[in-house]
Structure 1
Amino acid sequence: MKKRMGLLLSLIILVMLLSGCTEINEDITSESEGIWNEFFVYPLSWLIINTSNLVGENYGLGLIIVTLLIRLAILPLMIKQTKNTKAMQALQPEMEELRKKYSSKDQATQQKLQQEMMQLFQKHNVNPLAGCFPLLIQMPILIAFYHAIMRTPEIGEHNFLWFDLGARDPFFILPLIAGVTTFLQQKIMMVGVANTQPQMQMMLWLMPIMIIIFAVSLPSALSLYWVVGNIFMIVQTLVIKGPDLRSRAETGKAGGSK
């Protein structure tokens, strides 16, 4: 958990360096300079504009389609990350036994612990770092998509359903949906995870609250992106973890019938 949080922090710093401290309210165009703008943000902005034009200049629908396309593109990475997490979770009992066996904090004992851990991973063909690689690819794409939404002026000139894409939701319905779907997504992902750490429990509530706070003040286009992405992630997680969820439900029923 600590390693993953450290990796995520390093990745955010890297993306900030790539972006060259670009202002979020600076419009993105084909003339925008810098690696971040030319190879990440502008291509996504171009895709949003052209997709929206294909569906009758409906930028709300275009944004939904592009969001789904992006999620489908990184789906193999998400599946790989989920499977690796599941494999690591299955090894937790054996890893805990090794930690108890080599509980001493001296350097020799800790080296022996690391050797035993690596042998355990090799035995079960599990790479402890494999779950981090998909994250390295996903995060720049998703952050660039966020920049594309915020910096494409055409989006702000259109409306969708009851709200203007360039303004905040006047009824705060979309921010609330974004918060609720964020909570549901995280809750479903945590199902079947044994020994859930306090940090994860805290994030389960903290993330939805932060999303709502941000969504209330940011353009509705971004809230729409969050809602569609969350719904996609919920469906994806239900499909991937379906057998585990059914097994857990059957175990609960069996326990309740005794």
Structure 2
Amino acid sequence: MRKKYVLLLALVGLVVFLSGCTEIDQPITSDSEGIWNQIFVYPLSWVITKIAEIFNNSYGLSIIIVTIFVRLIIMPLNIKQIKSSRAMQEVQPLLKEVQQKYSSKDANTQQKLQQETMKIMQEHNVNPLAGCLPIFVQMPVFIAMYHSIVRTEEIANYSFLWFELGSPDYVLPILTAGFTFLQQKLMMSTNTSMNSNPQMAMQMKMMLYMMPIMIGVMAFFFPAALALYWVTGNIFMVVQTLLINKPMMSNKDNGGVKK
């Protein structure tokens, strides 16, 4: 489990590095060089600008529209990730039985444990890596959205609702933290594997409180345009989680994994 987290953090760091985070202080224009800028960041910045012009330079409304549009595009990946996580939860009782049966640490027993584990995965069509892949596919999109908002200079010159898009706000960070907490709470409420794994439950509870606090604190120091993007994305994820989990929970009540 620890190796899995180390690998996850390493891959996240690699994606962030390759996504051009060193250019965050450079305005994005049509003349910006590099594949990252020309294929990902500038097109999103251009779309935000054009939509804002349609709505009388309402860059705040444009950020909301583009954020929702991007979330809709990657929704199939989110659904795949949630279904994969749910499938892993459903086979946990079977995997636990196999681990208890082959608890010895000798090479032959461990080989049998791996074989039985793979057999269970194949029988129930579960891929342990399927839940991680969508995360890495989505990450460049989210980072590009972040860049396009921060590096589009026109955004900082306009206001939306009660706040200036180019300056920090004091209400949006609270909303960001609140909806982040709600989203994670909804995800935890459907994670049945936590009930049988106290260590995992403790880690998830720590993340439940630490992640909203971290994002909320960061939002206090970033421009309100970025906080608006976070709030919109979090609200979308809350609604999406509710819509996806409801039919999945109904299917679970009608029958789970059979031994």
Pair in the same fold by TM > 0.5? yes
Answering whether residue 225 of structure 2 is matched by residue 221 of structure 1, we say: yes
* Equivalent residues of 1:19, 1:35 under 8 A apart: no
Gaps of 5+ in 2: 195-199, 254-259
* Equivalent residues of 1:20, 1:34 under 8 A apart: no
Answering whether residue 249 of structure 2 is matched by residue 241 of structure 1, we say: no
Answering whether residue 12 of structure 2 is matched by residue 12 of structure 1, we say: yes
Partner of 1:180: 178
Amino acid at match of 1:34: G
Of residues 199, 205, 208 in structure 2, which corresponds to 1:201? 205
| Shift in Å, 1:47 | 1.4
Structure showing greater relative contact order (alpha-carbon pairs closer than 8 Å, 6 or more residues apart) = 2
| Shift in Å, 1:78 | 0.4
* Equivalent residues of 1:84, 1:126 under 8 A apart: yes
Write out per-residue CA displacement over residues 229-249 of structure 1, whole angstroms, 9 at most, x where no aligned residue: 011000000001114667999
Partner of 1:256: none
Gaps of 5+ in 1: 250-258
Matches within 5 A, 1:54-133: 54-133=54-133
Aligned to 2:192, what secondary structure does the other structure show? coil
Write out per-residue CA displacement over residues 188-217 of structure 1, whole angstroms, 9 at most, x where no aligned residue: 011121242121111000000001110011
* Equivalent residues of 1:192, 1:248 under 8 A apart: no
Amino acid at match of 1:93: P
Amino acid at match of 2:81: Q
| Shift in Å, 1:3 | 5.8
**Cα gap change, 1:148/1:79 in structure 2, threshold over 3 Å: closer, same or farther?**
same
Answering whether residue 193 of structure 2 is matched by residue 189 of structure 1, we say: no
Bigger CA drift: 65-74 or 124-133? 124-133
* Equivalent residues of 1:168, 1:217 under 8 A apart: yes
**Cα gap change, 1:238/1:56 in structure 2, threshold over 3 Å: closer, same or farther?**
same
Matches within 5 A, 1:139-158: 139-158=139-158
* Equivalent residues of 1:175, 1:216 under 8 A apart: yes
**Cα gap change, 1:221/1:124 in structure 2, threshold over 3 Å: closer, same or farther?**
same
Bigger CA drift: 91-100 or 65-74? 91-100
Aligned residues: 247
**Percentage of matched positions with identical amino acids:** 56
| Shift in Å, 1:186 | 0.3
The whole-number CA distance in structure 1 between the counterparts of 2:108 and 2:85 is: 29
Aligned to 1:200, what secondary structure does the other structure show? helix
The whole-number CA distance in structure 2 between the counterparts of 1:35 and 1:79 is: 29
TM-score after normalising by structure 2:
0.89
| Shift in Å, 1:2 | 4.3
Write out per-residue CA displacement over residues 170-200 of structure 1, whole angstroms, 9 at most, x where no aligned residue: xx11100100000000000111212421211
Amino acid at match of 1:188: L
* Equivalent residues of 1:191, 1:245 under 8 A apart: no
Write out per-residue CA displacement over residues 141-165 of structure 1, whole angstroms, 9 at most, x where no aligned residue: 1111111111111111110001000
* Equivalent residues of 2:176, 2:216 under 8 A apart: yes
The whole-number CA distance in structure 2 between the counterparts of 1:246 and 1:179 is: 30
The whole-number CA distance in structure 2 between the counterparts of 1:248 and 1:161 is: 43
